[in-house]
Amino acid sequence: MKKAILAVAGLALGILAVLIQNGPAYAISYDLTNWNDPVLDASTDKVTVDVTTSAGITKLVFTWVPGDSGLTAIGMDKVGYDSTVGCCGALSTAGWGPFDSDGIPPSHNMDGFGSFLSVDAKPAANDLVITLYLSGDASAALNSATDFALHVRYENDCSGFVSGRTVGSGGTTSTCGSAEVPEPTSLILLGSGLAGLGLWGWKRFRGMKA
């Protein structure tokens, strides 16, 4: 019995040692819902970010989630995250790498959402799910939706940046189209026209009966 207790205690200590060596596992998800294009911002389109840190390595998974915009996304080609921990390690989505050739993450502006310490890019990417393995543990810095921004491309030359931040000044917007709401004057004219058409039809109907 004593040997069994000692064996269990030894196993527990071994597991604890592995956990201490590798660091605690960390996992959290964020929704990015603020767009720098008014049409996209009025929709429920979003990008989710899953942040997982294990064995001293942080993994980021970005997924575009369609909402009610009625638009079709064709890819995401820029990622901004607010950490100096670099990218992109083995098992990352193919073709993604540091925006800067030297691999040093300076501060980059993500068109209206301010600056992020690291930006990674894949020209003309057609990825709607992106997995990036960073070179170290970035969980201490990446602890809010405001730490991320993505550039999403849609069909018909529509595109926009989405983030957990509020759009600041200086950003540009693309033209994604919008459903135009009729002005009151237009509604009055439309109503008058329909009423006139109805009156004409009623008189014609009465004339046919006579």
Query: Which of 56-60, 94-98, 115-119, 141-145 comes out lowest in average pLDDT?
Result: 94-98
- CA separation, residue 22 to residues 18, 193, 194 (Å): 6, 74, 73
**How many residues are recorded in the chain?**
210
Phi-psi region at 11: left, alpha or beta (left = phi > 0; alpha = psi -120 to 50): alpha
What integer pLDDT is reported at residue 187 of this predicted model?
Answer: 42
Name 205's bridge partners: none
Angle at 180 between CA 178 and CA 182, to 5 degrees: 170
pLDDT digits (tens, 9 = 90+) for 85-101: 988 888 999 999 877 65
pTM of the model: 0.72
pLDDT digits (tens, 9 = 90+) for 191-205: 455 555 555 454 554
* Confidence band, pLDDT 50/70/90 cuts, at residue 206: low
pLDDT digits (tens, 9 = 90+) for 148-198: 999 999 998 899 999 999 988 667 877 787 543 344 444 444 445 555 555
Q: Report how far residue 40's alpha carbon sits from residue 168's, in angstroms, rounded to the nearest whole number.
A: 16
Q: Token digits for 41?
A: 């911002």
Name 118's bridge partners: 81
- Range 97-115 burial, b when 16+ CB lie within 10 A, else e: ebbeeeeebeebebbbbbe
What integer pLDDT is reported at residue 106 of this predicted model?
Answer: 67
Name the one residue in this structure whose structure tokens are 């595109």. 159
